[in-house]
Amino acid sequence: MLAFRGAQRTKPQGTLIVKLHPLIILAVATFSTVVVSVEQRTPAEPRRIQSIGPSVTALSWQGTGERMRAMGFDASAYQDGNEAERDALDAIARASPASSLGKRFPEMNRDGTPRRGKGKSRFVALAPEAQESFAARVAETVGRLAPFRVWKYLNIAPEKRPHGEVSFDPVTRQAWRKASGLDIPEAILQKTGVDYRALAGFPETRIVVDQHPILAFYRWLWREGDGWPCIYNAAHRAVRTSGREDVTSYVAPALRVPSLPGANGDVDALFHWGYIHPDPTRIGKCADELLAMAHDGNRKQRTIMMTQLFTKRSYVTPKGMAAEAADASLDLSDSYFTITPEQLEIAFWSKVSRPLDHIAYNGLRNIMPEDCTVPAAGDKSTPGRLRDLLTTILKPLGSTFAVLEDPPPRVGFLQSFTAEMFAGRGSYGWPFRNWQDDAYMALLYNSIQPRILYDDIVLAGGLVELDAIVLVHCDVLSAGVAEKILAFQKRGGIVVADEHLAPGIQPNILWKTEPISEKAAKRKETVIRKGKELREQLEPRVRFPIAVSNPDLVARLRLSGAGRYLFLVNDARRSGNTQGRYGLVLEDGLPLQATVHIQGNTGAVYDLRRGKAIPFRNEQNCAVIDLDFAPGEGTVLLLLDQPVGPLKLHAEPTTTSGSLPIRVSVHDEQGNILPAAFPVFVEVSTPSGHVGEFTGWHTTRDGTLTLPIAPVHGGQRVKVREGVSGKSVSLSVNSRTKTKR
């Protein structure tokens, strides 16, 4: 019997988190990797997981102090420097409300009767007693976990909020009346909004006042009124009051809410996951939404974007196909399938090309080595590809990726909360459900690097730097947002919109919607064609820095000083015989040749994946680069005005604190410091061969890096190699220090 490649019946488990955000230690960026295996921990398991990622830990999702000790962790042993505990860098615990809350505080229908349903967390989270119960539960768990230094993450109530609905219980009614002086509008029946067409007297312009009662209620509901932000905040406060400032509280999945910053409370980080169907590049759209969601006024929450290492059979099988009617050659008992190496790498580059703080993977059991006690099957080359990406890309380049910045956006893409609440729009973190999602992908496939805008971002001045704004599925807008768009248009900004735009705004370019095909190849073809048409209309008035000869090569630009960092990934794919046998997913990667044009004459181009210069030519004020890619392959190119010249290493005078500052600098061929971010490998060793502090990969800031190395009796040898052109330099330093006066 032919089975899907990498199929298994039980849902894969295990999470791996990779920190892209640099840990700053006296201006030194470091990089680390975290692996978490759930359920059980056996003596051999760390070694098995070690073959996937550099560092290992294990912790049950319902972790308590007693459970951790049962799994072999010991707080005092860790604090005393136990070797086994040092191998376990970070661990995740989960805090979820008790299931009994659904009976104690049930959601209510409008008539006051308890709501019945299969929801996993159908209770009134706004009820003070429910919040107190949850806060006490979290405080107890946090108190038990606090002594264990391996504990670094608290996952708060994962996948609970999406199952709730608007409740018409007395607590919710009274809270809204206190906040607004009004009763809950009669038209409101569900949390996802009200159809404007059912509202009598709705404005013909489809532009509503900012304090429209329905709009105001939904803002309140998602930021406070359904109680979940309060639940998140209670857990976050429990962590903060425990004395564990190093523990990160996060909400997952953070995008199962409308486009409203602040909807996830005050947690430290927003965590979301994406699947690779129909296109792994769509994980990039989720990442862009996560970045928009994380900016709430002056507060910046950290971001974690995760790839599922598996896909579900239901996602790659035609809708309505009964199990018995499906292809008889398939093992229909298999429910989860390991993603291919090409899908894995395309999603990887779609994430690291964005200014995320962490990236993550779920489903480690799908790619565990064969000798693991946990049963799992998968594409035999997927674990190797993940291992390669972690060790040969992220380990040397992760700290460099973390300091890069996005260029000022030229095109904005509005996802309007108002349209979501009045017209049923939005994808709620599923980036493949409607034309708005496809329209965004049309821009990405045509090297247009848009910024996702929410209503709050527009009101805060988010249109200032733009040349154009794309309004897709913006059927209804608030007056404040509409005024900003009209003012933007009046001063010369281009408004691109589909036929659904609120009539109160007339677009400069009408970009009509297209039917969505179920077949992945047809859908991608339509997306690319629509994006090409729009780019051709915009090009006379909008300056795009990147042009690619083949849209299957997805490009994204980031900056640091004088350096331009061009992220590229080969997204050429076809349907295979496993996931893609029905054409709903393009799973098998294809080789690709393409030519990239990037505006501005260039002095040198370096492939950071391979650490070497590559050929290019300057034509008509553009750098032109011819490239070949293996299936699913990605890379990042560094473009500089001047070639990299000498690498210099200088020992600064010793300080009163006793450190020996070592200064690394990257220069051009004329001897001037090149102001850019360069990956550099630092090796510190003693005459006896011991590895010294700061040995590892770092990155320069504006071409320089200073390391406060501690003096060692007998002196040390410092060797530095930059990862751009491969130049290296070494220096011997002694242990003399200044005497403090």
Instruction: For residue 101, give Cα distances in angstroms to 123, 129, 132, 155, 700.
Output: 6, 9, 11, 19, 52
Looking at the predicted structure, is the pLDDT value of residue 251 above 90? yes
Asked if the domains at 7-164+226-402 and 646-733 fall in one CATH topology, the answer is no
Alpha-helix residue ranges (DSSP H) falling in 38-127 = 45-50, 65-70, 75-79, 83-87, 101-104
Break the chain into its structural domains and give their ranges.
7-164+226-402, 546-640, 646-733
Average pLDDT of the residues in 455-475: 96
Confidence of residue 2 (pLDDT cuts 50, 70, 90): very low
Q: Is residue 88 pLDDT above 60, yes or no?
A: no
Nearest to 575 by CA among 518, 634, 516: 518
| CB count in 10 Å sphere of residue 3 | 16
* Residues 332 and 386 sit within 8 Å (Cβ to Cβ): no
Q: Which of 168-182, 574-588, 589-603 has the weakest average pLDDT?
A: 574-588
Instruction: Tell me the C-alpha to C-alpha distance, in Å, between residue 557 and each of 96, 322, 546, 554.
Output: 40, 45, 8, 11
pLDDT tens digits along 655-689: 556 678 889 999 999 999 999 999 999 999 888 77
pLDDT at 540: 94
Instruction: Note the pTM of the prediction, 2 decimals.
Output: 0.90
Is residue 140 within 8 A of residue 121, CB to CB? The reply is: no
Summarize pLDDT for 261-309 with one digit per residue, the tens: 999 999 999 999 999 988 999 999 999 999 999 986 666 899 999 998 8
pLDDT given at position 479: 98
Q: Residue 121's pLDDT band (boundaries 50, 70, 90)?
A: low
Predicted pLDDT of residue 656: 57
pLDDT at 298 (0 to 100) = 64
Which range (244-258, 333-347, 369-383, 529-543) has the least confidence?
369-383
Cα Dmax for the chain: 86
pLDDT score, position 69? 57
| Closest residue by Cα to residue 291 from 353, 227, 230, 334 | 353
Q: What is the pLDDT of residues 393-430, one digit of tens each?
A: 988 999 899 999 999 999 999 999 999 999 999 999 99
In 295-409, where does DSSP find H-type helix?
313-316, 341-352, 382-388, 395-403
Confidence band for 8, pLDDT divided at 50, 70 and 90? low
Mean pLDDT to the nearest integer, 160-188: 95
State the fold for domain 7-164+226-402: TIM Barrel (3.20.20)
Distance CA 348, CA 148 (A): 31
Tokens 């048409």 belong to which residue? 533
With a pLDDT cut of 90, the percent of the chain lying above it is 60
According to the per-residue pLDDT averaged within each range, which of 55-64, 458-467, 702-711 is highest? 458-467
Confidence at 15, pLDDT banded by 50, 70, 90:
low
User: Considering only 113-117, 193-197, 342-346, which range has the smallest mean pLDDT?
Assistant: 113-117
Interval 531-540: pLDDT, tens: 999 999 999 9
Distance CA 358, CA 22 (A): 10
Span 187-196, mean pLDDT? Answer: 96
C-alpha distances in angstroms, 45 versus 88, 149, 365, 373, 376?
Answer: 12, 20, 11, 8, 14
pLDDT on residue 147: 81
Q: Is the pLDDT of residue 71 over 60?
A: no
Question: Which position has the higher pLDDT, 167 or 738?
Answer: 167
Query: What average pLDDT does the segment 382-391 reach?
Result: 83
Over 50: is that where the pLDDT of 4 sits?
no
Please tell me which residue, 325 or 558, carries the higher pLDDT value. Answer: 558
Q: What is the CATH number of domain 546-640?
A: 2.60.40.1180
pLDDT at residue number 660: 81
> For residue 65, what pLDDT is reported?
56
| 116 or 65, higher pLDDT | 116
Residue 505 has pLDDT above 50, yes or no: yes
The pLDDT value given to residue 364: 64
Categorize the per-residue pLDDT at 149 as very low, low, confident or very high, splitting at 50, 70 and 90.
Answer: confident
Second-level CATH architecture of 646-733: Sandwich (2.60)
Give the DSSP per-residue string, 496-518.
EE-TTS-TTS--SEE----PPPS
**What average pLDDT does the segment 627-647 reach?**
97
| Token duo for residue 139 | 């405080």
pLDDT value, residue 27? 25
Tell me the percentage of the chain whose pLDDT exceeds 70. 80
Give 41 or 532, the one with higher predicted confidence.
532
Long-range contacts of range 52-56, CB-CB < 8 Å, 24 or more positions apart? 52/16, 52/364, 52/367, 52/368, 52/369, 52/383, 52/386, 52/387, 52/390, 53/16, 53/18, 53/387, 53/390, 54/390, 54/391, 54/395, 55/87, 55/88, 55/89, 56/87, 56/88, 56/89
Mean pLDDT of 171-181: 97
Which pLDDT score, from 0 to 100, does residue 337 have?
Answer: 80
pLDDT range class, residue 12, cuts 50, 70, 90: low
pLDDT of residue 628 exceeding 90, the answer is yes
Would the pLDDT of 378 be above 60?
A: no
For range 129-135, the mean pLDDT = 91
In this predicted model, what pLDDT tens digit does every residue of 599-614 receive, in sequence order?
998 999 999 999 999 9
Averaging pLDDT over each range in 168-172, 365-369, 733-737, which range is the top one? 168-172
More confident call, 471 vs 70:
471
